[in-house]
Amino acid sequence: MRSEPFVIERTYDAPVRKIWDAITNKDQMKQWYFDIPEFKAEVGAEFSFTGGDPEGQQFLHLCKVTEVEPDRKLTYSWRYDGYEGNSFVTFELFPEGEKTRVKLTHAGLDTFPAISSFAKENFAMGWTELIGTLLKEFVEKA
């Protein structure tokens, strides 16, 4: 049985273009997300970064951009070096007047090995911090 994807939505007091730049410009991304020098918002572009779980274990993330609709949608695959499974992270942007609603979906979490590092709760905690706090603060600051 496939598990439901993790979804988080937040509305930011910032225009779509500013949020698009924050999720696709590698210089901006490293200020709230991860430092990904080879990131490009182009279909087929591959990138990697190292990130940890709550216990401090580090994992090499291997990703590939699969969908780009400027100012609207960005999707990339997300897997771990040395582990089975593949997932997809999608950012969707919805303009609402001067504000923007951001919907992040992380699908395929159930394809990863059943170890605590890959527990859905850890993804929920990570994305809630990234989308709920760090990205919000980044795009709303003057």
Q: State pLDDT tens for residues 51-92.
A: 988 788 999 999 999 999 999 999 999 999 999 999 999 999
- Could you state, in order of their start, the residue ranges of all structural domains in the chain? 6-140
Q: State pLDDT tens for residues 86-116.
A: 999 999 999 999 999 999 999 999 999 999 9
Give the C-alpha separation, 57 to 117, whole Å.
Answer: 8
DSSP codes, 42-77:
STT-EEEEEEE-TT--EEEEEEEEEEEETTTEEEEE
State yes or no: pLDDT of 31 exceeds 70: yes
* Share above pLDDT 70 across residues of the chain, in percent, rounded to a whole number: 98
Q: How does residue 21 score in pLDDT terms, banded at 50, 70 and 90?
A: very high
Q: What is the mean pLDDT of the chain?
A: 95
CATH 3.30.2310.20 fits 6-140, yes or no: no
